[in-house]
Chains A and B, each alone.
Chain A
């Protein structure tokens, strides 16, 4: 395959495969906790971290990770204060992050560098970034496997989970950090504006065909892999932007699944 003769494409595939596994894993819990917009808010606030990194001369991904963690913890704190208005916490944090990103971007000398974070640059990944994505992905996968049943119960019924002895606060805190880190590294590669789609679309597709939580997790990862690998192939051969192509493949798949399910439902 001539697509794999290029070093940058091999890197893109490796990073893509890692993200295709961890983003839907985080996404399953985010979606089932009814916090689908969380990924959007975090990826937007990560831009403030990117801008701060570029202004201060530190690695923008490190800036994004720090800003994402702060934002995620702020969302959790506001959500606790106003439990019935969880979506408000997301809107407030997103507005603050976008506002800060807007102001800081005025001080960034290289606009092109900043803009590459908006739509990502999966085919322009440095050695450091690849190493970072690999390490973070392994850490997220390990944490997700170890906390599988705890995350399931909290997503299903937080109150019952607490009564059953699950350390809900600690697990929520760890999950918040995992989400923030995942979103910030994924934002660098597929783009801050579309990372939340990658978090939600594989899960939305999986929920159309799965009968259990375990199945939903596995099928979400399979859809994630399909969107990223398919999107990279399509973008390479059709000369399209990879980030956008990956997300549009996800949207097209979801539409087809919904249409197919509707047709089957009418026939039954």
Chain B
């Protein structure tokens, strides 16, 4: 199985305050990885390192076997930001326009989209069950529907890995179930590789094939038994990763 992300010995600090040190992990093609951890544990910072927006102080990141500093094939990486719905909250754009925007690498600089690109955008919307909303203004959708559209925006490029930063935050219970079912389907049927940051360990554990936990500066991989123990423990003490 080919390796998509290989992080080794990562260390990062903000204003001399260490966030994490010696973080290593690997994500292979077809993995569905849930990344959990308490608020401020550094989950979003870790994603910024993986997206090349921040550079680690120590350690290395390889994407598709290439050092991140030299990596240029970003369309292979689909990214769904935290609070992504806030970005388009008051933006006058339709669902279709938002999904089409991400086809840039296929359409090309200063070129007009073709009919095939439009069909691709519609197909991505159909994958998340939002095709009938294509002409609706994005700002008029519910939180759950907006997240599905943002997932379609990621899918339209057929990325080889999807990095999702708390995609279930701020949406209702049904919206969360719908979104996780879509992700699970994509992983099982289309072998999509997913790295998803989430606070909702209970739900994520039902779908994810692996669970990573970032806590007190270290990253550990939880076994299935550890996840079950953690969920029981969390139920009693509401504490993040006692097994870390």
Task: Please pick, from B74, B88, B110, the residue contacting A165 in the complex, using a CB distance under 8 A.
Answer: B74
Of the residues B51, B77, B104, B135, contact of A153 by C-beta under 8 Å? B104
Determine whether the beta carbon of A163 is less than 8 Å from that of B91: no
Q: Is B181 an interface position by the 8 A CB rule?
A: no
Interface of chain A, main secondary structure:
helix
Q: Which A189-229 residues sit within 8 Å CB-CB of chain B?
A: 206-207, 210-216
A178 to chain B, nearest CB (A): 14
B153 touches A212 (CB 8 A): no
Asked, given contacts A213-B93, A214-B97, whether A160 binds B79 with beta carbons under 8 Å apart, the answer is yes
Closest residue to B108 on the A side, CB-wise? A165
- Once bound together, how far apart are the Cα atoms of A152 and B138, in whole Å? 14
Residues A212 and B137 in contact in the complex (CB < 8 Å), given A153-B104, A165-B104, A207-B92: yes
A127 on interface, CB distance cutoff 8 Å? no
Q: Which single residue of chain B is at the shortest CB-CB distance from A211?
A: B137
- On chain B, the residues within 8 Å of A92 by CB distance are none
**B51, A160: Cβ atoms under 8 Å?**
no
Q: How far, in whole Å, are A226 and B97 apart by their CA atoms in the complex? A: 27
Instruction: Please choose the segment from A74-82, A143-151, A233-241 that sits at the chain B interface, where 4 or more of its residues have CB less than 8 A away.
Output: A143-151
> Which residues of B sit under 8 angstroms from A159, Cβ to Cβ?
53, 79, 81
CB-based contact B51/A163 at 8 Å: yes
CB of A164 within 8 A of CB of B104, answer yes
Given contacts A210-B92, A216-B92, contact A165 B105 (CB under 8 A): yes
Flag whether B220 is at the interface (Cβ < 8 A). Answer: no
Partner of A156, one of B75, B87, B135: B87
Select which of A147, A150, A164, A212 is within 8 A of B97 by beta carbon.
Answer: A212
B49 lies within 8 A of chain A by Cβ: no
**Contacts of A7 on B, CB cut-off 8 Å?**
none
Residues 127-161 of B, flagged 1 when their CB comes within 8 A of A and 0 if not, give 00000000111000000000000000100010000
Q: A162 at interface (Cβ–Cβ under 8 A)?
A: yes
* Cα(A152)–Cα(B102), bound, Å: 11
What is the bound-complex CA distance between A146 and B104, given in angstroms? 13
Given the known inter-chain contacts A159-B81, A163-B74, please indicate yes or no for A152 contacting B157, CB distance below 8 A: no
B-chain residues with CB within 8 Å of residue A216 when the two chains form the complex: 92
Cα distance A167–B109 in the bound complex, in angstroms: 9
State how many residues of chain A have any CB contact under 8 Å with chain B.
28
Please, what's the 1-or-0 string for A11-37, where 1 marks a CB less than 8 Å from any CB in chain B?
000000000000000000000100000
Shortest Cβ distance from residue B65 to the other chain A in the assembled complex, whole angstroms: 19
A152 partner, pick from B74, B77, B101, B137, beta carbons under 8 A: B101
Residue of chain A at shortest CB distance from B77 = A163
- The distance in angstroms between the C-alpha atoms of A190 and B157, with both chains bound, is 44
B98 at the interface (CB under 8 A from A): yes
The chain B residue sitting closest to A217, CB to CB, is: B92
Whether the pair A164, B157 counts as a contact (CB closer than 8 A) is yes
- Per-position binary interface string of chain B over residues 102-127, scored 1 when its CB falls under 8 Å from any chain A CB and 0 otherwise: 11110101100100000000000000
Q: Any chain A CB within 8 A of the CB of B94?
A: yes
In Å, the complex CA distance between A147 and B104 comes to 11
- Output the nearest chain A residue to B95 by Cβ-Cβ distance: A212
Question: How many whole Å from A264's CB to the nearest CB in chain B?
Answer: 15
Task: Determine how close the nearest CB of chain A comes to the CB of B45; give it in whole angstroms.
Answer: 15
A153 and B153 CA atoms in complex are apart in Å by 12
* Residue contact A32 to B101, C-beta cutoff 8 Å: no
CB of A2 within 8 A of chain B? Answer: no
Docked CA distance A165–B137 (Å):
25
Q: Does A91 contact B (CB under 8 A)?
A: no
Q: What chain A residues lie within 8 Å of B102 (beta carbons)?
A: 153, 160, 164
Least CB distance from B92 to A in Å reads: 4
A164/B75 contact (C-beta < 8 A), A147-B110, A153-B104 known:
yes
List the A side residues contacting B153 at CB < 8 Å. 160
Report if A166-B104 is in contact (Cβ < 8 Å); known contacts: A159-B81, A160-B81, A213-B92. Answer: yes
Q: Are B88 and A156 in contact (CB under 8 A)?
A: yes
Of the candidates B79, B91, B94, B109, which one forms a contact with A150 in the assembled complex, judged by CB atoms under 8 Å apart?
A: B109
CB-nearest residue of chain A relative to B73? A165
Shortest B200–chain A CB gap in Å is 24
Give CA–CA (A163, B162) in the complex, Å.
12
Given contacts A156-B98, A164-B104, contact A211 B92 (CB under 8 A): yes
For B87, list chain A residues within 8 Å (CB). Answer: 156-157, 160
Hey, which chain B residues are within 8 Å of A152, CB to CB?
Answer: 93, 97, 101
- Chain B residues in 8 Å Cβ range of A153: 101-102, 104
**Shortest beta-carbon distance from B48 to chain A in Å:** 10
Q: 7 pairs across A/B with beta carbons < 8 Å?
A: A32-B91, A149-B107, A152-B101, A153-B102, A156-B101, A157-B81, A157-B87
Please give the residue numbers on chain A whose beta carbons come within 8 Å of chain B beta carbons, in ascending order.
32, 146-147, 149-150, 152-153, 155-157, 159-167, 206-207, 210-216
